[in-house]
Amino acid sequence: MPEHSAPSDRDGALAMIRTAMVEKKMTQAVLAEASDCHEKTIQNLLGGRSVRDQTLFDVCMVLGLDFNHLKDAWAGHTVSGPMELKGEGGMVAPVYMGAYTRAATDHFIGTFLTLRPAFSKRDTIIAYRTNIVWDAEWPSLLFEEHERPDAKYQHRGRIYVPSSSMFIHLVSLTKGAMRMVIVSQIDQAGYMRGIITTLHRKGAMIVPVSAPIVYAQTKDLKEDQLGEIGPSHPCYLPYRAQLDETINDGYARLVETILTEP
């Protein structure tokens, strides 16, 4: 893409970019990393200096701005109407999330029965609902947990879909604390399997934990299928089998390292 020369007035375009950065709580450094360019390039951009069209495009994808609208304003053209934070019509995720389209990931949208082992109770499975939707305001897949027995720890976050990978990433970020779920792409039976890595309170301490996790797409979830599922529950054995398959079939691997004296 060509490089823009500096027109006499880019205030309108800069105002759009800065407003979007404030709304998404992004610093120059975060924007540079997310758009996969040098921080100096972002400094040039925010200073109204010459940048490539590709830089403008990548920044628009990250900030959810319409590229053609911003490009016209950057060139000094008068742009009528308000700038909407919907990127390429709200249908393409930012580059740093995988630049996936809604059409290509539409099969992820729906309700999922979510299963993982309890972190503090032996022989107990935690079962809850996860909804996945498309968010056109910040173009990407959005997941949100519901009906967890520990409701105050329910997560909501974004889904990253790398190109040429059989795994996707469900990431939630709250005040610097990140939880990562890595699962396989959804299969024909509607399953995604993998591993969850998060923090768990153990007594007075909070420690990192990892465990297998399963998402099973469903249209009908009953209340008695959710919650803390123990060995006496009728759902325990089929749930346990699904979690065991996640490890046994190679969707995830839990490695325990035993250190010995040299």
Q: What is the pLDDT of residue 83?
A: 42
Cα–Cα distance measured from residue 56 to residue 1, given in angstroms and rounded to the nearest whole number? 10
Letter for the amino acid at 231?
Answer: P
Q: Is 27 in contact with 48 (CB distance < 8 Å)? A: no
- Closest to 200 (Cα-Cα) out of 138, 116, 136, 101: 116
List the structure tokens of 185: 């792409």
Q: What is the pLDDT of residue 262?
A: 57
Q: What is the pLDDT of residue 86?
A: 46
Cα–Cα distance measured from residue 14 to residue 74, given in angstroms and rounded to the nearest whole number? 8
- Closest to 215 (Cα-Cα) out of 153, 134, 130: 130
CATH number, domain 102-248, options 3.40.50, 2.40.128, 1.10.3470, 2.60.40: 2.40.128
Cα–Cα distance measured from residue 158 to residue 139, given in angstroms and rounded to the nearest whole number? 10
- Closest to 15 (Cα-Cα) out of 23, 5, 7: 23
Q: What is the pLDDT of residue 134?
A: 93
Q: What is the pLDDT of residue 85?
A: 42
Q: Which residues of 234-251 are buried (b: 16+ CB within 10 A; e: fewer)?
A: ebbeebbebbeebeeeeb
Q: What is the pLDDT of residue 32?
A: 87
Domain boundaries, given as residue ranges, for the chain:
11-89, 102-248
H runs (alpha helix) in the chain: 11-23, 28-34, 39-46, 53-63, 67-74, 102-105, 236-248
Q: What is the pLDDT of residue 258?
A: 63
Radius of gyration of the chain (CA): 22
* Overall CATH class of domain 11-89: mainly alpha
Q: How far is CA 7 from CA 4, 12, 42, 70, 111, in A?
A: 9, 12, 18, 14, 49
Q: In the chain, which stretches have pLDDT less than 70? A: 1-9, 77-89, 175-176, 257-262
